[in-house]
Each structure stands twice: as C-alpha cells, then as structure tokens.
Amino acid sequence: MIDFAELRRGMVDGQVRTNDVTDHRIIAAMLEIPRERFVPASLKSLAYIDDDLQIRAAGSGAVPRFLLEPMILARLVQLADIEAGEHVLDVGAGTGYSSALLSRLAQQVVALEEDPDLAAAATSTLADLGVDNVAVMQGPLAAGWASEAPYDCILLNGAVDEVPAALFAQLKEGGRLIAVVGGGGAGRACVFTKVAGQPSERIAFNAAVPALPGFEAPQRFVF
C-alpha cells in the first residue's frame, strides 16, 4: 500500500522547501492536503512527483489540462502573498487542488473552471475534504467571475500569452494578479498590482508551465 503521507513529506522537503518557499502556511497546507485525491486514479501513485500531471486529455478540439507541479504552484501562491481576510479568484482551478491550498490562506476562494467534468470533480473532492470556503464556478476562464468581484488576488493556473483586461477589472485597487506569461521555456512568473486603476508588472522568476486555454494573443495582421 502506498504511504501518501510519506510521499507528501518527501514532496515538501525535496521540492518545496528547497526552492525558496518559506511561508509556513503554504508548507503546512501542502503537508496536509491529499494531492492524490485531485488526480485521475491511474496517476495517484505519481501525485507527488516534481512534474505537471495531466488531468484532462486532449480531444475534440480541447487542449490538455494539467495540475501544476508542486514547486511551481507553491512559489506562485507564495508570490501572491495572500492574507487571512482576503477574497481570491482561482482561474483554471481544474480538479481543485490549487483552490484547496488557497483555502488555507484566504477567507474565501472562487474556483473558476470552464470544463464541466473538472468543475464537477473539484466540487465533489472539496466537499469530501470538508473545504467550505471555496465556491466552484463554471465559465470561460478569460472572463473571470465578475459577480463576485472585486478580488484581493487572482491566480492563473497555467501559462498565458497575455492577461485580459476583464481580469484586471475584477481586481481591487492594490490587488495582485499572479500569472506565468509566455510559453515554452520563455515563461515568466509575474505579479501585476493594480495601482491607480492600472496594472503595474513585476517579473519574479522564470517558469515553464502548461498553457491555459483561452488566453492566446490575438493574431495581428503584418504587412
């Protein structure tokens, strides 16, 4: 029988602590949240490896979706600098692991997922685990979830070509949006802070993560 608790400790000690993640709240959450509950049954034994795990296969025009590798997700969440009373939007929540992690840091989390099967899985798993401060919503990722805005922080679970104005509009003044901008090996984890109604960008570190659908830059006509 697989000792998932031991695998969790190995993940935190070998992948998270060793990569500049020092927020004790994130470390405690990653030690407690059963990541294996958020991946397909065939991948449970791989739930704690240092790699992205596919949670939806490509097909019928849909792109594959992934659970981000633990180290990158932990660093992105640390970058968000979430406080206990804050209201957070988790874009591309997938099966809900990132939302479960955010639930330990924030007062309330809106988990946005456009795939109905992933949204249903997130709803079920979070309920089974007793996570009661996350609301799973289904809709287009790039549109955000305006009815619950404004948010103190917005986290994007994947690489994007650009961040839509609709998401910036849903941030509070002084709020932060965390995104990996750029694909392949050129991705950069960025913090966008809303200052006087406009986004101010800071690049934090390089990060190569799978793309989120719906955030592709529009094709521009070139002479």
What is the model's pLDDT at position 150?
98
- Report the percentage of the chain scoring pLDDT > 70: 97
Enumerate residues 6+ apart whose C-beta is below 8 A from 166. 142, 143, 144, 146
End-to-end CA distance of the chain: give it in Å, rounded. 62
Average pLDDT, the chain: 94
Predicted local distance difference test score (pLDDT) of residue 168: 96
SS3 of residue 144 by DSSP: coil
**Which two structure tokens, joined as six digits, stand for 41?**
């049954």
pLDDT category, 221, cuts 50, 70, 90? low
Name the band, by pLDDT with cuts 50, 70 and 90, for residue 135. Answer: very high
In angstroms, what CA-CA distances link 180 with 50, 118, 152, 217? 18, 21, 18, 14
What mean pLDDT do residues 73-100 have? 97
Give phi and psi for 143, each to the nearest 5: -85, -15
* More confident call, 187 vs 59: 187
Say if residues 135 and 126 touch (Cβ distance below 8 Å).
no
pLDDT of residue 59: 77
Least confident piece of the model among 16-20, 45-49, 180-184: 180-184
pLDDT at 183: 78
Domains of the chain, first to last = 4-206 (3.40.50.150)
Can you list the alpha helix ranges (DSSP code H) found in 94-191? 97-103, 116-128, 165-169
Alpha helices in the chain (DSSP H): 4-11, 24-32, 70-80, 97-103, 116-128, 165-169
pLDDT tens-digit series, residues 165-193: 999 999 999 999 999 999 777 899 999 99
Q: What is the pTM of this model?
A: 0.95
